[in-house]
Amino acid sequence: MSQTPLIRLAGVWKTYDTGEVQVDALRGLDLTIGSGDYVAIMGPSGSGKSTLMHILGCLDTPTRGSYLLDGEEVASLSAGRLAKLRNQCIGFVFQTFNLLPRASVLRNVELPLLYGGVGRDERRARAQEILDMVGLSDRARHLPGQLSGGQRQRAAIARALVTRPRMLLADEPTGNLDQTTGAEVMEVFDALNGIGQTVILVTHDAGVAAHARRIVRIVDGRVSEDQARAA
């Protein structure tokens, strides 16, 4: 592990102002995650775990506190730099797969590279390569609607990985899948972490969390338990 941890959250607050009521989703949360880690974030609904995930993925910014990503303070970055960070450092997998319905699987996977300004030929080659890896190369020309749920989630993982991000964030990645396909998807995460990919996932399923090497429990916007597991 390097001197600087990949992620260091210190005293992070996130307050949602809904006009009348102020809701504190995070209340001074501290969390450090190193490169190559495999972390499951658990907690009851409303505990703030999704908010934490959005902040980790730079989809949202803390109201107070510090988020150092690779030693850099995220709050100080411009909108353009944040977009670049999301594009190059972070791969995000959503519960609902979130593929563009009118673009082929290949185009969906290419999209982050396109926003990253990668040329056409390299884009195609890298997307094909990553689809190969998740076992979807024969589905590249299909539309998302023609794929099964497990295949769609694997396509979404391929899209998250295509820019070779520093970390892979997954928000309830098996939430919309049955037991068997969920297990298939988890195998993909396991394999990725096996080759050194940092994986952080949010789940309420203990079976899913059991795949991780570290389980962080969130209650009321704070870390209540941080437990390393034997590999």
Can you give the binding site for another protein, defined by CB under 8 A? Answer: 54, 57, 59-61, 79-80, 83-84, 86-88, 92, 94, 98, 100, 102-103, 111-112, 114-117, 119-120, 159-160, 163
CB of 225 to another protein, least distance (A): 26
Amino acid letter for position 159: R
CB of 93 to another protein, least distance (A): 10
Residues 72-94 as b/e (b if ≥16 CB within 10 A, e otherwise) read eebeebeeeeeebbbbebbbbbb
**CB-wise, 38 or 97, nearer to another protein?**
97
> What 3-state class would DSSP assign to 184?
helix
**E strand or H helix at 91:** strand 90-93
Ranges of H-type helices in the chain: 49-56, 79-88, 105-115, 120-133, 149-161, 179-194, 206-209
CB-based contact 181:150 (threshold 8 Å): yes
CA distances from 157 to 15, 18, 118, 210 (A): 30, 33, 19, 20
Helix 105-115 / helix 79-88 crossing angle, nearest 10 deg: 140
Token output for 197: 């990919």
**CB-wise, 92 or 189, nearer to another protein?**
92
CB of 159 to another protein, least distance (A): 7
Please state the length of the chain.
231
CB of 215 to another protein, least distance (A): 25
**CB-wise, 46 or 207, nearer to another protein?**
46
**CB-wise, 162 or 185, nearer to another protein?**
162
CB of 54 to another protein, least distance (A): 5
CB of 86 to another protein, least distance (A): 5
**CB-wise, 100 or 206, nearer to another protein?**
100
**CB-wise, 167 or 215, nearer to another protein?**
167
CB-based contact 162:126 (threshold 8 Å): yes
